[in-house]
């Protein structure tokens, strides 16, 4: 059975709920090991691949994720549609904690990460079109799935990708807001660009864990708050994906 969909789980999503007849695959890639074995299984009678971006025990920080290996592995197993699930901080007023967002744009502030498969000697140099960083078709399928599953989503937004692992300063978030960012997260890039290089259909489900620095009325952002909000927001993911697969 071909893989109908691959899901890369972020903070708070280390296993895919409801995945049955599981098989774990360690995949050798030219870029080294993936964050965790790829878990193949059945969900809604379709084959789904799941990969925990930070490892199953959250041992890999955002700037050390082997994005190339992860994306390569999913592609090499035959996945052609990939959804990245990412925890984020909310900047825009309608993107408070627990809100689910389908972003449509990206600004990349990360540095020192391998951002392309052509970072290897002798590789073909590719200049991909990235005007729209997420697949239109997959975003629109997710939007329809949200309507069908009665899951509230905000279906646009600009994801600002920061280096981490620390959270941002108030001044950094103020600058990102001026730049046009609506959300801030540490793992959206280079994953989306690498997926495009391999011509994968890729979209992001962003789960708002907290107000970004200086955006809410909290003095400090606490990890407890982040995990509690994510536990709620994550419940939307299997619902959205079930509706997407049921089409
Ligand atoms: N900033 C960056 N990444 C994040 C945040 C944040 O506030 N919350 C969850 N991931």
ipTM confidence: 0.99
57 or 110: which leads in pLDDT: 110
Q: Residues annotated in the binding site for phosphate, as ranges?
A: 11, 53-54, 187
Is the pLDDT confidence value at 242 over 90?
yes
Which domains does the chain carry? 3-246 (3.40.50.1580)
In the prediction, which pLDDT does 203 show? 98
Pick the atom of ligand 1 nearest to 186's CA: 3
pLDDT tens-place string over residues 10-65: 999 999 999 999 999 999 999 999 999 999 999 999 999 999 999 998 899 999 99
% residues pLDDT > 70 (the chain): 100
Give the pLDDT band of residue 199 (cuts 50, 70, 90).
Answer: very high
Closest CA to 46 of 13, 2, 111: 2
In the prediction, which pLDDT does 1 show? 82
The residue-averaged pLDDT of 205-229 equals 94
Q: Cβ neighbours of residue 108 under 8 Å, at least 6 residues apart?
A: 161, 189, 190, 193
Q: Residues annotated in the binding site, as ranges?
A: 11, 53-54, 186-187, 210-212
Pocket test for ligand 1, best of 54, 210, 222 (most atoms within 8 A of CB): 210
Is the pLDDT confidence value at 218 over 90?
no
The residue-averaged pLDDT of 229-243 equals 97
Is the pLDDT confidence value at 72 over 90?
yes
> Which sign does the torsion angle of CA 145, 148, 152, 156 carry?
positive
Cα 201 to ligand 1 centroid, rounded to whole Å = 25
The DSSP line for the chain is --EEEEEEE-TT-SS-TT-EEEEEE----TT---SSPEEEEEETTEEEEEEETTTTTT-S-GGG--HHHHHHHHHHTT--EEEEEEEEEE-STT--TT-EE---EEEE---SS---GGGSTTPPP-----SS-S-HHHHHHHHHHHHHHT---B---EEEE---SSPPPHHHHHHHHHHT-SEEESSSTTHHHHHHHTT-EEEEEEEEEEEPTTTSS-SS--HHHHHHHHHHHTTHHHHHHHHHHH-
Give the pLDDT band of residue 209 (cuts 50, 70, 90).
Answer: very high
Q: Is the peptide bond before 190 cis (omega within 30 degrees of 0)?
A: yes
Residue nearest to atom 3 of ligand 1 (CA): 185
């Amino acid at each position: 059975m071909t893989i109908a969909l691959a899901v890369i789980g972020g903070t708070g999503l280390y296993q895919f709920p409801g995945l049955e007849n599981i098989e774990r695959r360690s995949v050798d890639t030219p870029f080294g090991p993936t964050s965790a074995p790829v878990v193949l299984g059945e969900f809604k009678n379709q084959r789904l691949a799941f990969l925990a971006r930070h490892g199953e025990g959250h041992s890999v920080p955002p700037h050390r994720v082997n994005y190339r290996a992860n994306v390569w592995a999913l592609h090499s197993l035959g996945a052609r549609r990939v959804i990245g699930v990412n925890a984020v901080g909310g900047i825009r007023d309608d993107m408070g904690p627990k809100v689910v967002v389908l972003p449509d744009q990206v600004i990349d502030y990360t540095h020192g990460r391998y951002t392309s498969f052509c970072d290897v000697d002798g590789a073909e140099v590719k200049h991909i079109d990235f005007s729209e960083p997420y697949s239109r078709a997959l975003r629109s399928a997710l939007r329809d799935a949200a309507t069908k599953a009665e899951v509230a989503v905000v279906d646009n937004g600009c994801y600002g990708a920061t280096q981490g692992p620390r959270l941002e300063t108030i001044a950094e978030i103020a600058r990102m807001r001026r730049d046009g960012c609506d959300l801030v997260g540490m793992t959206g890039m280079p994953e989306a660009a690498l997926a495009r290089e391999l011509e994968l259909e890729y979209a992001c489900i962003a789960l708002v864990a907290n107000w970004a620095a200086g955006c809410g009325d909290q003095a400090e952002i606490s990890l407890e708050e982040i995990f509690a909000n994510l536990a709620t927001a994550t419940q939307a993911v299997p619902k959205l994906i079930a509706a997407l697969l049921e089409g």
